[in-house]
Amino acid sequence: MIELQNVSKAYGTKIAVQDLSLSIEAGELFAFLGPNGAGKTTTIKMIVGLLFPTRGSVRLGGFDMQREGDRARQLISYVPDQPFLYEKLSGREFLQFIADMYGMPREHGRQRMAEMIALFGLSEFVDDLTERYSHGMKQRTVFAAALLHEPRVLIVDEPTVGLDPRSVRLLKDLLRKEAGKGVTVFLSTHSLDIAQELASRIGIVDHGRLIGCGTLAVLRKQASLDGSLEDVFLKLTEEANEERVGVQPSTASAIKSRTW
Amino acid sequence: MVGELQQPMLGGSLRADQIGVFRRLRWWMFCNSTHLMVQQGLLRLVTIIIGSTLIWGFVFAAAIVGFHFLGQRYPLTGDFVRLFLDPLFLSLSGLLVFSTGLILYSSLFAKAESAFLLCTPAGADQVFAYKYQDALTFSSWGFFLLGSPVMIAYGMVAHVPWYFFAFLPFFFLGFVLLPGCLGATVCLLVVNYLPRQRKWLLVAVVALILGVVGLWGYRVAQVARPEAWNRDMAYNLEDRLSLAQYPLLPSTWLTRGLRAVARQNLTDAGYYLTLLWSNGLFAYVVTAWLARHLYRRGFNRMVAGDLVMRRYGGHWLDRILAGMVGFLHPQTRLLVVKDFRTFRRDPVQWAQIVIFLGLMILYFANIPRMFGEQIEWSYQNSISLMNLTSTALLLCAYTGRFIFPLLSLEGQKFWILGLLPLRRERLLWGKFAFAACGGLLIAEFLVVLSDVMLHMTWLGMVVHILTTAVLAVGLSALSVGLGACLPNFRESDPSRIAVGFGGTMNLVAGLLFLLIIVGLMAGPWHVLGSLAEQGEVNTPLADWVVAIGLFMGLVAGIGTTVLALRSGVRALARMEF
């Protein structure tokens, strides 16, 4: 469903993603892990078509993101780490906007909106303007909007930040359920316990390179370590860092020295 | 197991629906915003309406006087009126190109909404069209505000048929499309092909525009003398303004079309109206097509090409400012430099001041060219008062837009300053010193420049310098004090803080203060000076009235400053973050 082939992305002189190849099947819950600045968000932005790869290609549902992006985006829902809501719309109007944008038939849209409002417990505030929502209320509304049109690929970036334990639990159940229905879930997170608990496969990225990918068992084998995902993650990123420092010159030379 | 999922709805029907989707979105937001404004922001709405009406009325009155003046000498429906309308509409179209381009750049490439919409199936051209219509509405607001009073005044003085006024909005609407599309095209091309040089390009374009306008203004001022209108001067003026009358310019079509309606020549009027609309709509289609191919690419290039890392540190400007406020407590001094550093690193903020400052300097420097070296006393008197008021208005805008939001912006990071071994009131003193220093420097420079160019007497200059000093200090104190009394900690965007309830109150208070101070301190000198020149008032008595006015203005200024800062200090001491 998601296919990245030798994808690289450069920001000026800085290489954010380097030769990344990845294939994620329908119904898979894939966790994407990595330290800060590893290239996770850049990868996600390329998958949703916000950024174009400098090299390589991204295909989603068989559509090339660069050439057939409008078709591919019809299949996706993306929940970024800082989700966007129109402040001057109510939650219900925002859901209606999403239903209309994805061309849902009116009756089906209404039915799905009612389901989402019930599922995420939005009924108390759904008719209030979103500018008055708390972070948790916003996050729930964004998830309701993301699932409203029954996407085939759900991409979520740091979904648990700022959520209370109850909401985190709801979210975990939801992601599992969606994957069970055949939706491909691409989850980028720093929360290793959630990744370990939910993911069928895990990818670890560091300095733009995919340094490990597979089930927890595969990653343990790669790290020659029989510990938790946290131990495996730390060992693999540490090894990759040592290897990188030994091989690559410092990026400091790329920094434009200028006082401003 | 993978379930059977619906195939996405693709193709033309969805694309056609998107127009309706965006229309509904705009309608919902308009209804909700209007409802909120009526419920909570009535004061803001009233201020906007009053402010706009005042500006409209002022331009209308000036235009009526101007057209009456011209009407006594030349037939207003004849060719002569082109001398004024062509440059007016050419200048306004230049402003439209620039403002539409800038607004579109911000809304297409720098807003979270754009990234959100680009992740949906919305076509790039649909997102562009939605944003373009918003940008054009916003940027042409000024065009309607300035263009409509001039043309209505023209119609009234020239006794044009009634349908001239009915035609006006259609001509204006058709006209704004073309400069708007040009601005949008430039924006798309710059982002796609010069993403890293865009800021320098903007600076270069502004400098070029100022240079060209300055040169053009200089050449026109060389031949234009308001006191000596004659046919030779009109021919010379026409020659100097020939650039604005180029037949392929949309501004020329607009002028010719409107003049045709005024002369009741509906065939020509219809031709120019059709010319404007057909070209405008064609340009819109071409720009939307361009956006379809370039918007996403540009978004990618903007994000990907924007990571030039810089090492930030001290700057000679910081050191100069620190030296200037060396008499303050070291902690307050640090806060002043911190605020200045934040300000100078945000070109969007200071560029607005620089543009206004540049335009005012250009105008002040050209005063002798416009009115001759031997300026009459009546001109000296009225123009210097007008220049003083313009400078005061710029000061009012500067303190309202940049100083008032400063304390609200601290709110979100108050845990840093709040935990420092620092008395809270130092925060306020720091912002006051920053505002007053900046305000004094800018405003005094402008007022002295204007007075020197107008060959004002030393007494007149002293009156203006004192008035400006009281205004700079008082307006700074008002903005800082009210900023502490009416903070808005929910917003992180200073422009939105400035137009909120507190910002509007500050603007109203600032304008009132401005009227009182100019009325008390500069008003008597100008009014009585004028009467004394005509021998209608006793000179020693006039001197006493001027002195009393200055003293009262000084007292009012000190009183306002103390009161505003004291209220601010108290509010800050009580404030919970």
Do residue B226 and residue B286 come from a single domain? yes
State the Cα angle at B446 between B353 and B373, rounded to 5°: 135
Distances (CA, A) of B213 to B35, B217, B238: 43, 6, 16
pLDDT of residue B370: 65
Q: Is residue B202 domain-shared with residue B340, that is, in the same domain?
A: no
Averages of pLDDT over runs of 10 residues in chain B (577 residues) are 43 63 91 83 74 82 81 68 78 84 86 90 90 87 81 86 89 90 91 77 74 72 61 66 77 89 89 94 94 90 67 76 81 81 75 77 75 72 87 88 85 71 81 88 91 87 94 94 85 76 85 92 86 70 85 94 92 77
Q: What is the pTM of this model?
A: 0.74
What pLDDT, on the 0 to 100 scale, is given for residue B372?
A: 64
Could you tell me if residue B326 is inside a domain? yes
Do A35 and A140 share a structural domain? no
**Co-location of B321 and B422 in the same domain:** yes
Looking at A92, A115, A150, which one is the last position of a domain?
A: A150
CA quadruple A123, A128, A133, A139: dihedral, nearest 10 = 50
Q: Which of B272, B303, B334 is the last residue of a domain?
A: B303
A163 and A229 share a domain?
yes
Segments forming the whole domain that contains residue B293: 18-303
Pick the residue of B1, B4, B13, B21 with the most A CBs within 10 A to test the interface with A by mutation. B21
CB-nearest partner of B119 from A26, A73, A181: A73
Spell out the residues 6+ positions from residue B463 whose beta carbon is closer than 8 angstroms to its own: B521, B522, B525, B546, B550
Question: Is the Cβ–Cβ distance between A12 and B308 less than 8 Å?
Answer: yes
Question: Which are the contacts of A189, defined by CB distance < 8 A and separation ≥ 6?
Answer: A31, A32, A33, A158, A159, A160, A195
Between positions 23 and 82 of A, the ones with CB within 8 A of B are 26-27, 45, 48-52, 54, 69-71, 73-76, 78, 80, 82
Residue of B nearest to A53 (CA): B300
Chain B: residue whose CA lies nearest to A86: B113
Residues B151 and B228 occupy one common structural domain: yes
The shortest CB-CB distance from A89 to any of B18, B28, B345 is to B28
The per-residue pLDDT for B538 is: 66
Q: Do the Cβ atoms of A181 and B3 come within 8 Å?
A: yes
Domain boundary among B303, B335, B369: B303
Q: Are residues A125 and A176 both part of a single domain? A: no
Report the pLDDT value the prediction gives residue B354, as an integer from 0 to 100: 78
Same domain, A249 and A161: yes
CATH classification of the domain holding A184: 3.40.50.300
For residue A152, give how far its alpha carbon lies from the nearest alpha carbon of chain B (Å): 7
**Has residue A65 been placed in a domain?**
yes
Q: Is A127 exposed, middle or buried (0-12, 13-18, 19+ CB in 10 A)?
A: exposed
A174 in helix, strand or coil?
Answer: helix
**Domains identified in chain A, total number:** 2
Domain assignment present for B406:
yes
Q: Would you say residue B284 lies in a domain?
A: yes
- Per the document, the length of chain A is 260
| Alpha-carbon gap, residue B211 to B488, rounded angstroms | 40
Q: Which domain holds residue A125?
A: 82-150
Kindly state whether residue B541 falls inside one of the protein's structural domains: yes
Strand order in the sheet with A184-188: A76-79, A153-157, A184-188, A29-33, A201-206, A209-214
B334 in the same domain as B296: no
| Nearest residue in A to B36, CA atom | A88
Statement to judge: residues B502 and B355 lie in one domain: yes
Residues B163, B185 share a domain? yes
Tokens of residue B187, six digits: 């924006």
Interface contact flag, A70 B121, Cβ < 8 Å: yes
Beta-bridge mates of residue A224: none
* B500 in the same domain as B357: yes
- Name the residue among B5, B115, B308 with its Cβ closest to that of A150: B5
User: Which value does ipTM take for this structure?
Assistant: 0.86
A249 inside 8 A of chain B by CB: no
> Do residue A52 and residue A175 come from a single domain?
yes
pLDDT at B553: 93
E strands, B437-543, where? Answer: none
Residue A260 to residue B310, Cβ atoms within 8 A: yes
Residues A176, A248, single domain; the answer is yes
Strand partners, A64: A59
Same domain assignment for residues B498 and B474: yes
Which A positions 228-247 lie with beta carbon below 8 A of chain B? none
Please indicate, yes or no, whether residues A160 and A140 belong to a single structural domain of this protein: no
Are B177 and B281 in contact by the 8 Å Cβ rule? The answer is yes
Residue B223 pLDDT: 63
The pLDDT score that the predictor gives to residue A247 is 56
Q: Which of residues 492-511 of B touch A (CB under 8 A)?
A: none
User: Do A88 and A68 share a structural domain?
Assistant: no
Last residue of a domain, one of B303, B335, B360: B303
Nearest chain A Cα to B31, which residue? A88
Cα separation, B146 vs B59, in Å, equals 7
Q: Choose the final residue of a domain: A150, A171, A188.
A: A150
Shared domain check, B290 and B214: yes
Task: Report residues of chain A scoring pLDDT below 50.
Answer: 249-260
Domain boundary pick from A134, A150, A166 = A150
Whether A62 and A125 map to the same domain: the answer is no
**How far does A195 lie from chain B, in Å, by closest CA?**
20
Quick check: is B13 in a domain?
Answer: no
Residue A260 domain flag: no
**Do the domain assignments include residue A97?**
yes
Q: Is residue A259 a part of any domain in this protein? A: no
Residues of A numbered 155-184 whose beta carbons fall under 8 angstroms of chain B's beta carbons: which are they? 181-183
pLDDT in the model for residue A82: 84
In a domain, residue B105? The reply is: yes
Q: B515 and B478 share a domain?
A: yes
Which residues in chain A have their CB less than 8 angstroms from residue B308's CB?
12, 256
Residue A30 maps to a domain: yes
Predicted local confidence at residue B225, as pLDDT: 59
A239 within a domain of the structure (yes/no): yes
Q: What is the dihedral of CA B209, B214, B216, B221, to 10 degrees?
A: 160
Does residue A84 sit at the B interface (CB-CB below 8 Å)?
yes
Give the residue from chain A lying closest to B301, CA to CA: A51
pLDDT at A160: 83
* Chain A residues 199-218 with CB within 8 Å of chain B: none
Residue A178 falls inside a structural domain: yes
Distance, first Cα to last Cα, chain A = 46
Q: Give CA separation, B402 vs B359, B414, B506, B507, in Å.
A: 19, 19, 12, 12
Its sign, for the CA torsion A125, A130, A133, A139, is: positive
Domain tally, chain B: 2
Using the beta-carbon criterion (under 8 Å), do B309 and A255 form an inter-chain contact? yes
Residue B491 belongs to a domain: yes
Q: Do A116 and A172 belong to one domain?
A: no
Identify whether residues A183 and A247 lie together within a single domain.
yes
Chains A and B form CB pairs within 8 A to the count of 131
Residues of A in contact with B340 (CB under 8 A): none
| Residue A15 sits in the same domain as residue A71 | yes
Which residues from chain B sit within 8 angstroms of residue A255, using beta carbons?
309, 311
B6–A150 C-beta distance less than 8 A? yes
Whole-number pLDDT of residue B448: 93
Whether B110 and B240 map to the same domain: the answer is: yes
Exposure b/e, B160-192, CB count within 10 A at least 16 = b: beeebeebbeebbebbbbbbbbbbbbbbbebbb
